[in-house]
Copies of this chain bind each other. A is one copy, B any other.
Amino acid sequence: MTPPSASRRPTRLAEKSSTDRAALDALLDAGVVGHFGLVTEDGTPVVIPTAIVRDGDRVLAHGSTGSRWMRRLAQGVPTALAVTTYDGLVVARSAFESSLRYRSAVVFGACVVLPDTEKEHALDLVTDALIPGRVAEVRRPTKAELAATLVLALPLDDWSLKVSAGWPDDEPDDIAGPAWAGVVPLRQTYDDPLPAPDLAPGIGVPPSVAALGR
């Protein structure tokens, strides 16, 4: 486990900061979408949302070789990748103490481009992270598809993690008052799968899709 560098440690709510690598991994494995921050040529910031998957001690992201921002990340410019889950409402007795349950990680560093020899395996990881078991149900990617895809890896060397999983922390006067306090947990659930308009009759929902969210 590598602790976050001092300059990047969260400055507020230090009680919520964590150097727990297992908790970082759990968040990265739960988060589907990450936000890459980078600095453009003119010095202004841009933020790019993209699907991410953890692969051991690195995070993988993929995109088109035609994407301007993917290409800039591929050059190894400094980046910050934020992965956040919103897990519920902390309903305090005052608006001031009310907040969110969340998990938030930021990984600092620079991306490297995966070589062609690692690309196909990495894309399998992306697919099976989103839909476990799907890789075994579909054809292999073609050479043209692989050539059109850029896969980036960001090492988990320098990161910070904040976890808010607690209860309202009201002042004594408010606790003695009449207002309710508690937590409302939030959950993401998949609805029933919808067949594509061009799906041929008789093709049933595959096991990977049927198992989602079960």
Residues in B neighbouring A79, C-beta threshold 8 A: 45
How big is chain A's contact interface, by range?
Answer: 35 or more
Give the CA-CA distance A85 to B188 in the complex, in Å: 12
| Number of copies of chain A assembled together | 2
Give the CA-CA distance A187 to B43 in the complex, in Å: 37
Task: Knowing A67-B11, A100-B33, A196-B168 are in contact, say whether A138-B186 is a contact too (CB < 8 A).
Answer: no
Instruction: Report if A98 contacts B (CB, 8 A).
Output: yes
Give the CA-CA distance A197 to B188 in the complex, in Å: 25
Instruction: Report if A165 contacts B (CB, 8 A).
Output: no
Q: Across the interface, do A199 and B184 meet the contact criterion of CB distance under 8 Å?
A: no
Interface residues, chain A, with chain B CB atoms under 8 Å away: 8, 11-12, 32-33, 35-39, 43-49, 51, 63-64, 66-69, 78-82, 84, 86, 88-89, 91, 93-96, 98, 100, 102, 104, 106, 108, 123-124, 127, 130-131, 134-135, 137-139, 141-142, 145, 149, 167-168, 170, 174-191, 193-200, 203-206, 209, 212
